[in-house]
Structure 1
């Protein structure tokens, strides 16, 4: 009776040809797909990842062009100080800061991102036994990646040993808190009792005393949050979504021996079929992640169309991309960092 092959997962690392320097001969190494110098760099994303990340600047560009050319937005009154349209003349429901999706999704966006991430980690079999509290290496490294990204979000938008970096950068670029005139004597007296440094320390403190941020550059916190959270979810789920051999990503990593290699997960079942369906219980996390990532993209488009200046949106994008690169791409070129945070799907 013929022996059956059992399901197994092994990591395959194949050296990439590089002018014959230290690599096995052509006859001794497996055949590699056609490659380009770009794809051979561990410092850069794959073409597929690059296309995915390009969605974000394209969305910001599309929304900004719409806000400039659309008759509805050109006719509406936009207040740059409040960074919002007058509610009575807002060109769209999504142009109002009080719209349902802005209040209950974007304002508490990290809650939804965390919920989707946790759902994926505890339900998908590629990270450990589904719905079982088993602390595997992959789950631990996924948690470390999440913790690093979350810490970045906190430092940028919430707290950084005092004021968050967004508020600090606003003040560094000449911004300050200007107190508005009020007919209320008590309110005026309360403002006078507060020191100028305290009033200008954070945007939240400025609003509390009835003031306004004026004069500096305000990095778009909405753009930063939506891009940071959704791209984290995408890059965590991408190896899972690309289970078919023809779509498998070819990431390059620099190993401790100084060679650039290709790391991938090879999965086969007992019949030799490599197109294995995702178990039903593990699809919950993927659906949750796709749902949050999709809603984040829509709200990013709305933010691009109705809020902030071009440069404010660009700096929000830039800061988010720096954080994502440090956690999801830099480890491929730094073996020591990769041992800590790992790589999704490996």
Structure 2
């Protein structure tokens, strides 16, 4: 039988590939590294629901994917049978979370994704309401703080139409190679949840009747999260980032999941689950053997 992790990887690969090919053939993707257009609405936002950056799937799910992944894992783990609550599963989650934080929040300074942009020709820019683009030192993007004419007057050239005093905005790294962070996280998250579901089924083989109602709901919830993640992967592949940026996001997502698969983080082989029926059968067999002897 095909390993569920391999099946998930094949599915993700097909979705990203088909979505990317579609985006190229129909010119539906937005180059998010272009500072002149990335802050604007997607050209297709009025006619294509998922091209709108403000659609609920993007705002409440994709942008918060690791929060949803954490909730799904905790629900599944906490309701699992005792023999399935292994320390290795917790370590796998912690390893994946460290990958998530290293790429998106902090890696001995700027996160990995920011470093990739900066080291491939990216620069920190601020989009003014006038449409002008103001380059600022990269450190302001690394700090992830708002900038305004009041707080940082030296950054605004006098020749530009300076915004109102109460205006502020957060600079972003643009140009360079802007790895699709959403593809990266959705890929890693989906593979991680599928792996956790696989572990749950492995440890309960032959004794699924012992699952609590809460655990049944946890399994349903995680399957639902995987399904929504696959949809989000497709919409991102169709509407956002260049093909190469989506490819790098996919490869990094697979690599991030691979970290959780190192031998030291693999749960020990499950012990044989002995059901009450099997115990009764063994007792009856022993009793019969005793009678004949």
TM-score clears 0.5: yes
Larger strand percent? 1
Question: What does residue 124 of structure 2 align with?
Answer: 177
User: Is the partner of 1:304 in helix, strand or coil?
Assistant: helix
What is the Cα deviation at residue 205 of structure 1? 6.3
What is the Cα deviation at residue 122 of structure 1? 0.9
Give the distance between the partners of 2:235 and 2:171, measured in 1 at CA.
Answer: 26
Give the distance between the partners of 2:243 and 2:31, measured in 1 at CA.
Answer: 15
| Gap change, CA 1:69 and 1:277, over 3 Å in 2 | farther
Does residue 108 (structure 1) correspond to residue 64 (structure 2)? The answer is: yes
Question: What does residue 157 of structure 1 align with?
Answer: 104
Question: What does residue 342 of structure 1 align with?
Answer: 266
What is the Cα deviation at residue 314 of structure 1? 1.0
Give the distance between the partners of 2:204 and 2:79, measured in 1 at CA.
Answer: 21
Q: Any idea what the Cα deviations from partners look like across 1:151-191, whole Å, max 9, x if unmatched? A: 1101101122221110011001111113445669xxx9xx8
Counterpart contact for 1:228–1:321, Cα < 8 Å: yes
Give the distance between the partners of 1:121 and 1:67, measured in 2 at CA.
Answer: 38
What is the Cα deviation at residue 79 of structure 1? 5.4
Larger helix percent? 2
Among 134, 140, 165, the residue aligned to 1:199? 140
Question: What does residue 64 of structure 1 align with?
Answer: 20
| Gap change, CA 1:232 and 1:205, over 3 Å in 2 | farther
Give the distance between the partners of 2:147 and 2:243, measured in 1 at CA.
Answer: 24
Among 30, 35, 41, the residue aligned to 1:86? 41
User: Is the partner of 1:177 in helix, strand or coil?
Assistant: strand
Does residue 279 (structure 1) correspond to residue 216 (structure 2)? The answer is: no
Counterpart contact for 2:123–2:138, Cα < 8 Å: no
The aligned runs of 1:1-346 (5 Å cut-off) are 48-70=4-26, 74=27, 78=30, 80=32, 81=34, 82-83=37-38, 86-87=41-42, 89-90=44-45, 91-125=47-81, 127=83, 138=86, 140-180=87-127, 196-201=137-142, 209=169, 211-241=171-201, 274=206, 276-277=208-209, 279-281=211-213, 282-328=215-261, 330-331=262-263, 337=264, 341-343=265-267, 346=270
Q: What is the Cα-based RMSD across aligned positions, in Å?
A: 3.4
What is the Cα deviation at residue 231 of structure 1? 0.9
Give the distance between the partners of 2:267 and 2:3, measured in 1 at CA.
Answer: 17
Question: What does residue 258 of structure 1 align with?
Answer: none
What is the Cα deviation at residue 96 of structure 1? 0.8
Q: Any idea what the Cα deviations from partners look like across 1:21-78, whole Å, max 9, x if unmatched? A: xxxxxxxxxxxx9xxxxxxxxxxxx7553232111111101111222234xxx4x694
What is the Cα deviation at residue 326 of structure 1? 2.2
User: Is the partner of 2:256 in helix, strand or coil?
Assistant: helix
Counterpart contact for 2:30–2:242, Cα < 8 Å: no
What is the Cα deviation at residue 239 of structure 1? 3.7
Give the distance between the partners of 2:199 and 2:127, measured in 1 at CA.
Answer: 52
Counterpart contact for 2:145–2:170, Cα < 8 Å: no
User: Is the partner of 2:125 in helix, strand or coil?
Assistant: strand
| Gap change, CA 1:181 and 1:99, over 3 Å in 2 | closer
